[in-house]
Amino acid sequence: MRQKEKITIYDISKKLNISAATVSRALNDSNRVSPKTKELVLKMAKELNYQQNTLALALKSGRTFNVGVIVPYINHTFFASVIRGIEEELTPKGYHVIICQSHEDVANEARQIKTLLNTHIDGIFISVSKTTEDLSHIQEIQDDGVPLIFFDRKKDIRGVSSVTINDYEGAFMATEHLIKQGYRNIVHIGGDSKLEIYKHRYDGYIAALREYDIAIDNNLILEVSSTVEAGIEAVKELLDKNIEFDAFFSASDYVALGGLRELRSRGIKIPEEVGVVGFSNEPFTKYLECPLTSVGQTPMLMGQIAAQVFLEQINDQSKSVKVEKKVVLMPELYERETSSKKGVTVNL
């Protein structure tokens, strides 16, 4: 059976009675072609089931129209939402998104970067692993001249853009909210302090206590991994040691969920006896039996803006010095039942 011949730009040009050059420009969204002609070309291309030759396009433009996104874990809603935001911005522009996971291992992260660079990627978006300290593999990206955008977890490298949230402000808001609800012995269950995001959340917690003249008690400060199990163990430790506390602010919703489970298992009333605030506003937070107050990180917006920063960089290759952008998004506190005492008004 004879194989069906592949549709070319010449077939489209014959159908519309315009030059092949005009068809090519229209398909590549050139400003030299009117919007009406572009619309006609795209409509005919769809009718004829035309497929662009991506290899030829890459050779002509110097681009592969592939970008890589490296995250610690894809099964975290936050990272999945950031990726969706990146895709929503880049897919209509003809880009394909290649997703890689580091599994919090810098060696994996380095291998993923090498693989992406070997495929002549157009850009790399990365949220670094918690074990990333040596930055030689990050330097390889810069040495290759590939646009690099950090999101959420970043490293301060000259000339590299980033899109993050104001973790300090988010933690301050969370702690201040608990204080205004009448809580005074507030625990902070933080994450790995090697990661900048968790250091900033700790700093925001400390700043809020100082703002309201509440003494800092090191017995109320814990550092754990961001898992439900770690949250269970952290609260279990506090209770078993008879450490007095009436609230906790967790740098992770998963840790907060574990803490909630342990409190409920011991018959401790929430929020009457202990108030709880998490961080990230994971989807499950509002569907719990006692919905969890949490700080939202706007991950979709983070991904969209990261993609926009990338497009600005790659579309302006004329500049010998790249413009470094540090975009910091503002968090939002979602007040729910785990921390909001009904009818409570505290004069501070």
In tens, the pLDDT along 43-59 reads 998 888 887 765 555 55
Asked if residue 291 has pLDDT above 60, the reply is yes
DSSP 160: -
The Cα-based distances of 335 to 31, 64, 148, 271, 290 in angstroms read 48, 45, 36, 12, 12
pLDDT reported for residue 3: 45
pLDDT reported for residue 60: 57
Report whether 265 contacts 144 (CB < 8 A).
Answer: no
Whole-number Å distance between alpha carbons of 227 and 261: 13
Question: What is the three-class DSSP state of 238?
Answer: helix
Which one is predicted more confidently, 67 or 319? 67
Put the strands of the sheet holding 293-296 in their side by side order.
221-223, 186-190, 247-250, 275-280, 293-296, 332-334
Q: Which CATH architecture has domain 167-297?
A: 3-Layer(aba) Sandwich (3.40)
pLDDT reported for residue 283: 93
pLDDT reported for residue 294: 98
In tens, the pLDDT along 251-265 reads 999 999 999 999 999
Over residues 207-231, the mean pLDDT reads: 96
In tens, the pLDDT along 184-211 reads 999 999 998 889 999 999 999 999 999 9
User: 64: buried, middle or exposed (CB in 10 Å: 19+, 13-18, 0-12)?
Assistant: middle
Domain limits, the chain: 61-164+298-329, 167-297
Report whether 126 contacts 67 (CB < 8 A).
Answer: no
Q: Which residues pair with 293 in a beta bridge?
A: 277
Give the fold, CATH level 3, of 61-164+298-329: Rossmann fold (3.40.50)
Is there a shared CATH topology between the 61-164+298-329 domain and the 167-297 domain?
yes
The Cβ-side half-sphere exposure at 78, using a 13 Å CA radius, reads 21
Asked if residue 150 has pLDDT above 50, the reply is yes
In tens, the pLDDT along 104-142 reads 999 999 999 999 999 889 999 999 999 998 899 999 999
